[in-house]
Amino acid sequence: DQQVKQNSPSLSVQEGRISILNCDYTNSMFDYFLWYKKYPAEGPTFLISISSIKDKNEDGRFTVFLNKSAKHLSLHIVPSQPGDSAVYFCAASATDSWGKLQFGAGTQVVVTP
Amino acid sequence: GAVVSQHPSRVICKSGTSVKIECRSLDFQATTMFWYRQFPKQSLMLMATSNEGSKATYEQGVEKDKFLINHASLTLSTLTVTSAHPEDSSFYICSARGGRGRETQYFGPGTRLLVL
């Protein structure tokens, strides 16, 4: 049962424009959310996280928005750069889960010149 | 960010042999490490949670006798794939919990295992 869903398998965006990646979850016990970036044959790289007590967190070009009532979060990357081309995973954890992360299926982002 | 290393980065072995993969947190102490595997074009699937000094906790469907996990110190966890078979071929990734944030996990670069 997929508790974290990324319904868009791929996204193409022009360099300089905004990339918006979406993620939905079903488990209301999740209270911490993370975004990771992954290149082929490499481990995921942590990008940004957000606690359920917040609805927005910003770090440089990356902003994560959390809508708890809709069980939805999104990652905004602006401006998009060619080096942002990668697979982006949304992950979630619950306080009582000892840090276990549930991952979405990932979204392949391609930034075109 | 925190640094996690894995060794080896790739391994090819014959069916029936055992393979050990090491995961180290290089600049922080990790009381908890996690082991994942990823099949092509799929998400990361958690295999087990490894706590320093105690037995690992395995996810449903993961054979603990086949995937032996040892977390002997705060900076080292090992995964041993025993009697490997071709269906065990996968990309194995470890992560360590630590650094900034309550639940942030930092991932190793992964180990590509191919069983012939």
pLDDT in tens, A59-111: 999 999 999 999 999 999 999 999 999 999 999 998 777 678 899 999 999 99
* pLDDT level of residue A40 (50, 70, 90 thresholds): confident
Rounded CA-CA distance B73/B55 in Å is 13
- One pLDDT digit (tens) per residue for chain B, 116 residues: 678 999 999 999 999 999 999 999 998 888 889 999 998 778 889 999 988 878 899 999 999 999 999 988 889 999 999 999 999 999 999 999 864 445 578 899 999 999 99
The answer to whether A43 contacts B105, with C-beta atoms less than 8 Å apart, is no
- The strand pair at A19-25 and A72-77 is best described as antiparallel
* Model pLDDT, residue B89: 95
For A103, counting Cβ atoms within 10 Å of its Cβ (0-12 exposed, 13-18 middle, 19+ buried), the class is buried
Assess whether pLDDT exceeds 50 at residue A43. yes
- The strand pair at A30-38 and A10-14 is best described as unpaired
Task: Give the DSSP H or E segment for B24.
Answer: strand B19-25
In A27-85, DSSP assigns E strands to 30-38, 45-51, 56-59, 62-67, 72-77
* Model pLDDT, residue B39: 83
The dihedral through the CA atoms of A42, B43, B21, B115 has a sign that is negative
Chain A nearest C-alpha distance from B28 (Å)? 16
Q: In whole numbers, what is the pLDDT of chain A averaged over residues? A: 93
Bridge partners (DSSP) of residue B24 are B5, B76
* Model pLDDT, residue B100: 47
Contact present, A75 and A63 (Cβ < 8 Å): yes
* Model pLDDT, residue B102: 56
Q: Which two tokens stand for residue B12?
A: 């090819």
Output the CA angle B23-B45-B111, nearest 5 degrees: 35
Task: Identify residues of A whose CB sits under 8 angstroms from chain B CBs.
Answer: 32, 34, 36, 41-46, 49, 51, 89, 93, 98-106
Q: Which residue of B has its CA nearest to A90?
A: B43
Q: Which amino acid is at B71?
A: H
Q: Which two tokens stand for residue B46?
A: 């958690």
Rounded CA-CA distance A4/A18 in Å is 23
Rounded CA-CA distance A85/A20 in Å is 13
Average pLDDT over residues A15-44: 94
Other CB atoms within 10 A of residue B21 CB: 23
Average pLDDT over residues A17-21: 98
* Model pLDDT, residue B1: 62
Contact present, A3 and A103 (Cβ < 8 Å): no
Task: Give the DSSP H or E segment for A110.
Answer: strand A107-112
Return the SS3 of A16: coil
Chain B nearest C-alpha distance from A33 (Å)? 9
